[in-house]
Chains A and B, each alone.
Chain A
Amino acid sequence: MMSATFTIDGQEVPFTPGQSVMQAALSAGVFIPHLCYHPEFRPHGSCKLCTVKVNGRPATSCTLPAAAGMDVESNTPEILDKRRALLQMLLVEGNHFCPSCEKSGNCKLQALGYELEVFTPHFNQFYPDRPVDASHPDVLLDFNRCILCELCIRASAEVDGKNVFALSGRGITKHLIVNAESGKLADTNFALTDKAAQVCPVGVILEKRVGFAVPIGQRHYDAAPFSAHVAEFKPTPESQGERS
């Protein structure tokens, strides 16, 4: 099939009908920052890190269907500035202490922070009170780091068929909950082998007893920045053209 094209920052990008701007870009090796997007799941559009301008108008590239002739701006000073602010918002909303976090070096939030040169949190910290859930024999839930991307929710519902996770609350009090009257992960049917245990972009869902197996400095994003891993984020056939 002859594919149509659009441009991102002047670079021509082909797409197939049904692809989002994000999917087309990543397929072509063009990196657009993202956190709630995952190649295996339907787009969500909540983190807004992938915000671009299309023909001069703001848009969310992971949910916007690609169309021929679009003029997409992504790495402009204005947009990078906004993405930086969004990362800072996520950083002050939760409790993120990279030096003591098992996910450091493998964390997408941290990697994107380095990539976009977020040197300070800028805003005042919220310091929310979010108790950890260590009830499960194999997995620790540290809600302090949750960025509400809903990837675990989607994975548990769509792949594991378990619906272990959901959101409750509203606005700044929105938070992740688990599917148990006690509110404890141990009282769900969650297992370490679940897809939902693998998808957290930050350090909320952690396997117990394996901490710091790989030294900091030798981890995934330590060697090369987030954007250098663009090939990992190429969409799979299943994730394309579906509506959330």
Chain B
Amino acid sequence: MNDTDAIRDVLSRHGNDGTRLMQILRETQEVLGWLSPATLTAIAAGVNWPRAKVEGTAGFYSFFHTEPRGKYRVLWSDNITDRMLGNMDLMQAMCQKLWLEPGHLSEDGLVSVDTTSCTGMCDQGPAVLVNYRAIPRMTLQRVEQMAELIRKEAPMADWPADWFAIEDNIRRADILLGCTMLPGDAMKVSLARGSAPAVETASNERSFREAVHSSDAGPGATLDEIKKSGLRGRGGAGFTTGLKWEACRNAPAQTRYVICNADEGEPGTFKDRVLLTRQPDLVFEGMTVAAYVTGASKGYVYLRGEYRYLLEPLNSVLAGRRKAGLLGKNILGRAGFDFDIEVHLGAGAYICGEESALIESLEGKRGVPRNRPPFPVTHGFLDQPTVVNNVETFAAAAMIAGRGGDWYRSFGTAKSAGTKILSISGDCERPGIYEYPFGVSVRQVLEECGAKNTQAVQISGPSGICISPKEFGRCIAFEDIPTAGAFMVFDQSRDIFEVVRNFVHFFAHESCGFCTPCRVGTSLLKNLMDKIAAGHGTHYDLKEIQQLNSVLQISAHCGLGHTACNPLVHTLERFRPAYERRLKSLDFEPAFDLDAALSHSRQMTGRDDAGAHLSNELETAAEKA
């Protein structure tokens, strides 16, 4: 099949619909290897969009390539937990084996090796993606074998199957991970609420679909259970789920949408991956409950590109649900209750975890957060009322629909009902997935995961909070430490400065670039941290960090910019010596490094003797004086 046919094939599979551009680009790239200028022109013509707009989308996402990247594309997950497990040395070894430099295509055009943001395998790192297939637990031996296979151009289908095995590592299950409800159970209970004459509901007059007049009291009654449960969003922001659903339900609409945010990009978080592996039916059931309550007719799972390997298993679960009458037309025999779910893949952009950026991406555009108001509940996907919830929120909603709000409230604390799934990684004996009722103390979690000599815990990822042992009595709960689930442990042997530097690089890499403060500010912060790491930092630079923080806090467009300085601010408060021991004692030190500026000259002349270095001479002279 030639390129033109391949592109036409993909386009027709997606009905030449530009809003499906992300899937069109990904599938085209899976066939052709990269997105050449001619390919983008053909796709633009196919969806009838301006070419520049298609190129703009392709250029936004890390996993789309508008330049050749080789037959094999190896990306090393570069979260701090991967670093702690030695990923940099392994990547270096791989590059040596393959005769190439990180970030550059090999001279024969066969392979490229680079880093990527956290791939969500923190409990089984160091991890890589090879052609966007996840391979955890890399070792030197695997690096050598992989380099051999790549050089022999062995198809990935022939690579050892056990390399691709992803472990769930569930160490503590509670109501969600231990859920024994069968597919359809929660929906049956929800539907039954409508036919129970004794049920009194607060908002049951409204038809669940404008087009179908219905006296069905089920949606209203189910919404009341969700409200009663006190469920709050599990993606980090903690918005009350019942209110979100109600706002969507009450907004005028042609169509309503339910979107499951499975763009689990916060470094150190991998609980949605496990939920989608172990409890996909529960998640889909929660989405169906949301559709029943709000009157939505279409659902999307926005799955991060790093979890590409989950696409086929999830699609087969969806097929099973359709067969069982749990998706499709007239669900469970209820006339007019039509709802179906489709899985869409992201392509390597952390910002798409922000709900309005996710919607933009789902519409085939660059993942840039929208101006709000209006909010997605009234003007979301294709400008229609849209509920966007986290994977874990939908799973919890399904439990609540099945067992009731009061039952759910009996777990957790008064202000934080239910359980929270933590993704634990870093310095502990048993990294993995832990589901706890809200209110559990950090200390208890640390004890149970086998953490020793803990220096710090980063909770909820780089955008969350970094705490020191003095605070280990604090609790995981909305009223104390809220979290999207990441829980990274650092023992006394770790350099907190390097942890933070890793996070700062992450934010600079993931800034969408829409607003000035975040686009430029995150890169300025990165440069400042690199300057300090290189031994050129002073107290002046620490003040600069505080100053940049205040600019980002006041003027950034979205949460990424607002939280980009969190790791710096929290650790400057608690671990200041980690910074100060790297500082020169001067008030000011120019970032311009004379000696480094000569590195090109040294490379070109092949010299590296003392005479070819400026600073050595100067420093020696200063010492003599």
Interface of chain B, helix or strand or loop or mixed?
helix
In chain B, positions 324-379 with a C-beta closer than 8 Å to chain A are 349, 366, 371, 373-374, 379
The proximity string for A residues 163-177 relative to B, scoring 1 for CB distances below 8 Å and 0 otherwise, is 111111111111001
A123, B517: Cα distance in complex, Å:
13
Which chain B residues border A118 with CB–CB below 8 Å? Answer: none
Question: Could you tell me if B52 and A86 are in contact, using CB atoms closer than 8 angstroms?
Answer: no
Per-residue CB contact flags for chain A residues 151-184 toward chain B (1 = under 8 Å, else 0) read: 0000001000001111111111110011111110
* Interface membership of A124, Cβ < 8 A: yes
Q: Which residues, 124 to 180 on B, are CB-close (under 8 Å) to A?
A: none
B238 CB to closest chain A CB (Å) equals: 19
User: Which of chain A's residues have a CB closer than 8 A to the CB of B513?
Assistant: 148, 169-174
> With A89-B524, A172-B511 given, is the CB distance from A181 to B555 under 8 Å?
no
**Does any Cβ of A come within 8 Å of B527's Cβ?**
yes
Please choose the segment from A41-49, A198-206, A227-235 that sits at the chain B interface, where 4 or more of its residues have CB less than 8 A away.
Answer: A41-49
Query: Which chain B residues in 542-596 approach chain A with CB under 8 Å?
Result: 547-548, 550-551, 553-557, 591-592
B510-527 with Cβ < 8 A to chain A: 510-517, 519-524, 527
**With known contacts A163-B50, A168-B60, A181–B510 Cβ distance under 8 A:** no
For A177, give its contact among B56, B379, B547, B556 (CB under 8 Å): B56
Is B228 close to A, CB under 8 A?
no
* Known contacts A86-B517, A172-B519, A180-B51; A167 and B512 CB within 8 A of each other: no
With contacts A58-B554, A89-B516 known, is A170 near B59, CB below 8 A? yes
Chain B residues with CB below 8 A from A3, complex form? none
Q: Which residue of B lies closest to A149 (CB)?
A: B516
State which of B371, B519, B547 has its C-beta within 8 Å of the C-beta of A63. B371
Judging by beta carbons under 8 Å apart, are B53 and A163 in contact? yes
Question: Is B15 among interface residues, defined by CB-CB distance under 8 A?
Answer: no
Q: Is the CB of A86 within 8 A of B60?
A: no
Q: How far is the CB of A107 from chain B (nearest CB, A)?
A: 16
In the complex, which residues 26-58 of chain A have their Cβ closer than 8 Å to any Cβ of chain B?
43, 45-49, 51, 53, 58
Tell me if B591 and A124 are in contact (CB < 8 A). Answer: yes
A243 CB within 8 Å of chain B: yes
Question: Which B residues touch A164, using CB under 8 A?
Answer: 52
Of the residues B60, B371, B510, contact of A45 by C-beta under 8 Å:
B371
Which of B40, B517, B547 gathers the greatest number of chain A CB atoms within 10 Å?
A: B517
Task: Given A82-B554, A90-B520, A170-B349, check contact A65 B52 (CB 8 Å).
Answer: no
Asked whether B52 lies within 8 Å of A179 as measured between CB atoms, the reply is yes
A42 → chain B closest CB, angstroms: 10
A90 contacts B516, C-beta separation under 8 Å: yes
The reply to whether A165 and B511 form a contact with Cβ atoms under 8 Å apart is no
Whether the Cβ atoms of A46 and B50 lie closer than 8 Å is no
Instruction: Kindly list chain B residues whose C-beta atoms are within 8 Å of the C-beta of A244.
Output: 371
Of residues 56 to 104 in A, which have CB atoms within 8 Å of B's CB atoms? Answer: 58, 60, 63, 65, 79, 82, 85-86, 89-90, 92-93
Taken together as a complex, chains A and B put the C-alpha atoms of A92 and B528 apart, in Å, by 14
Scan B476-520; emit 1 where CB is below 8 A from any A CB, else 0.
000000000000000000000000000000001111111111011
Which residues on the B side are within 8 Å of A180 (C-beta)?
51-52
B444 to chain A minimum Cβ distance, whole angstroms, is: 37
Q: Are A167 and B56 in contact (CB under 8 A)?
A: yes
- Assuming the contacts A48-B557, A82-B551, A244-B371, asked whether A165 and B519 have C-beta atoms less than 8 A apart, the reply is no
Q: Which of B38, B349, B547 has the most CB of A within 10 A?
A: B547
Question: Which residue on B lies nearest to A45, using beta carbons?
Answer: B371
Specify which chain A residues have a CB less than 8 angstroms from the CB of B516 in the assembled complex: 46-49, 86, 89-90, 147
Q: Is A126 an interface residue (CB 8 A)?
A: yes
Chain B neighbourhood of A43, CB < 8 A = 371
Instruction: Give the residue of A65, A89, A92, A181 whose beta carbon is less than 8 angstroms from that of B38.
Output: A181
Min CB distance B358 to A, Å, is 15
The verdict on A82 contacting B52 (CB below 8 Å), with A124-B527, A170-B60 known, is no
Is B19's CB within 8 Å of the partner chain A? no
List A contacts of B521 (CB < 8 A): 89
Q: Does B455 lie at the interface of the complex (its beta carbon under 8 Å from any beta carbon of A)? A: no
Which of B510, B512, B515, B524 is A123 in contact with, Cβ under 8 Å?
B524
> Are A178 and B52 in touch, CB under 8 angstroms?
yes
* Residue B41 interfacial (CB < 8 Å): yes
Contact with B along A128-160 (1 / 0, CB 8 A): 000000000000000000011000000001000
CA distance A178 to B37 in the complex (A): 13
Q: Taking each of A79, A123, A172, which has the highest tally of chain B beta carbons within 10 Å of its own beta carbon?
A: A172
Q: Does the CB pair A165–B52 fall under 8 Å?
A: yes
Q: Say yes or no: is B55 at the interface (Cβ < 8 Å to chain A).
A: yes
Kindly list chain A residues whose C-beta atoms are within 8 Å of the C-beta of B514. 46
Chain A positions within 8 Å of B62 at CB level: 170
Q: Would you call B56 and A168 a contact (CB within 8 A)?
A: yes
Residue of A nearest to B59 (CB): A168
What distance in Å separates the Cβ of B288 from its nearest Cβ neighbour in chain A? Answer: 31
Q: Which residues does chain B contribute within 8 Å of A48, judged by CB atoms? A: 515-517, 555-557
> Looking across the interface, which residue of chain A has its beta carbon closest to that of B548?
A85
Which residue of chain B lies nearest to A88 when distances are taken between CB atoms in the complex?
B520
What residue of chain B has the Cβ atom nearest to residue A163's Cβ? B50
Inter-chain contact A174/B53, CB cutoff 8 Å: no
Residue on B nearest A36 in the bound complex, by CB: B516
List B contacts of A93 (CB < 8 A): 519-520
**By the criterion CB–CB under 8 Å, are A171 and B523 in contact?**
yes
Contacts of B379 in A (CB 8 A): 243
A18 to B: closest C-beta gap in Å: 12
- Bound: A105/B36 CA distance, A: 41
Name the residue of chain A whose CB is nearest to the CB of B40: A181
Given contacts A166-B53, A170-B513, A181-B37, contact A82 B371 (CB under 8 A): no
Q: Is A51's CB under 8 angstroms from B38's CB?
A: no
* Shortest CB distance A149–B (Å): 10
A171 contacts B519, CB within 8 Å?
yes
User: Could you say which of A58, A60, A92, A179 contacts B51, with CB atoms under 8 Å apart?
Assistant: A179
Chain B 20-69 interface residues, beta-carbon cutoff 8 Å to A: 37-38, 40-41, 50-53, 55-56, 58-62
Give complex CA distance A53, B519 in Å.
21
Residues of chain B within 8 A of A170, CB atoms compared: 59-62, 349, 366, 511-513
In angstroms, Cα B56 to Cα A178, docked, is: 10
CA distance A45 to B555 in the complex (A): 10
CB-CB under 8 A from A148, the residues of chain B are: 513, 519
Report the Cα distance A130→B38, complex, angstroms.
23
Pair A82/B555 contact, Cβ less than 8 Å = yes
CB distance from B165 to the nearest CB of A (A): 32
Residue of A with least CB distance to B517: A48
Name 15 interchain pairs, CB-CB below 8 A, sorted by A. Answer: A47-B516, A48-B516, A48-B517, A48-B555, A60-B557, A79-B554, A86-B516, A148-B519, A163-B53, A170-B62, A171-B513, A171-B523, A172-B511, A172-B522, A180-B51
A170-B349, A170-B511, A174-B513 given; 8 more Cβ-contact pairs under 8 Å? A48-B556, A51-B555, A58-B554, A86-B517, A170-B60, A170-B62, A171-B512, A181-B38
Footprint of A on B, CB under 8 Å?
Answer: 37-38, 40-41, 50-53, 55-56, 58-62, 349, 366, 371, 373-374, 379, 508-517, 519-524, 527, 547-548, 550-551, 553-557, 591-592
A-B interface, 5 closest residue pairs, ranked by CB to CB distance from nearest: A168-B59, A166-B52, A174-B513, A163-B50, A89-B520
